[in-house]
Amino acid sequence: MKKCHITFQLNGMTTEVLVNPNQTLVRMLREDLGLTGTKYGCGEGDCGSCTVLLDGEPVNSCLVLAAQVDGHRVTTIEGVADGDNLHSLQASFIEKGAIQCGFCTPGMILSAKALLEKQPDPSELEVRTAISGNLCRCTGYQKIVEAIMSTGKSAGECSSSNEEKCQGEG
Ligand code: FES
Ligand code: FES
């Protein structure tokens, strides 16, 4: 099978990969690039454990072909922290006890990150809607919702949309 050469931004780095035309994004991330933070659950778009951001929007990477990200921007859980400094969402998940086995956590964090970049102070309904495609078999969701809401309220997100405001506030 003839491979496709793709170039895309992966966690802020220009990345070039040769992929099979039928290879999914999750398989490329995990198997070719070694980014195993993106989890593989159902493989059918039902569980959300494979969620990554594609141009800032959450997608199920088991349903996206690797070749489709050519020229686009992909963020995985490995690109969320700033070096050794956890993202405020990651810190909040730990603080609120929103992680048990952790299998759903990368996808949850990325869905939440996308929400907070659009809506820095979301309602509970907005949070529950944003993570409605991410299944958790362990926590009962309440602590996850609390972690996301407290991140929005206390820390705010210095996203591109409100970076000026954050900087202005010192
Ligand atoms: S593995 Fe992609 S949605 Fe379940
Ligand atoms: S913490 Fe186990 S699936 Fe969510």
What pLDDT digit, counting tens, does each position of 22-50 carry? 999 999 999 999 999 999 999 999 999 99
Indicate the pTM of the whole model. 0.90
| Residue 111 is assigned to a structural domain of this protein | yes
Residue 167 lies in a domain: no
Residue nearest to atom 4 of ligand 2 (CA): 136
CATH number, domain of 138, equals 1.10.150.120
CATH code for position 18: 3.10.20.30
Element (DSSP H or E) covering residue 6: strand 4-10
Q: Is residue 95 part of a domain?
A: yes
Closest to 32 measured CA to CA, from 73, 72, 4:
4
- The atom number, within ligand 2, closest to the CA of 108 reads 4
| Same-domain pairing of 65 and 111 | no
Same domain, 128 and 110: yes
| Ligand index nearest the alpha carbon of residue 42 | 1
Q: pLDDT per residue over 96-154, tens digit each?
A: 999 999 999 999 999 999 999 999 999 999 999 999 999 999 999 999 999 999 997 75
Q: CB–CB of 128/148 below 8 Å?
A: no
| Ligand with an atom nearest the CA of residue 26 | 1
Rounded Cα distance, 6 and 29, in Å: 13
The domain of 109 spans 88-160
Do residues 72 and 12 share a domain?
yes
Same-domain check for residues 73 and 134? no
∠ CA 146-149-150, nearest 5°, is: 80
Contact 69, 92 (CB under 8 A): no
For ligand 2, atom 3, name the residue with the nearest CA.
136
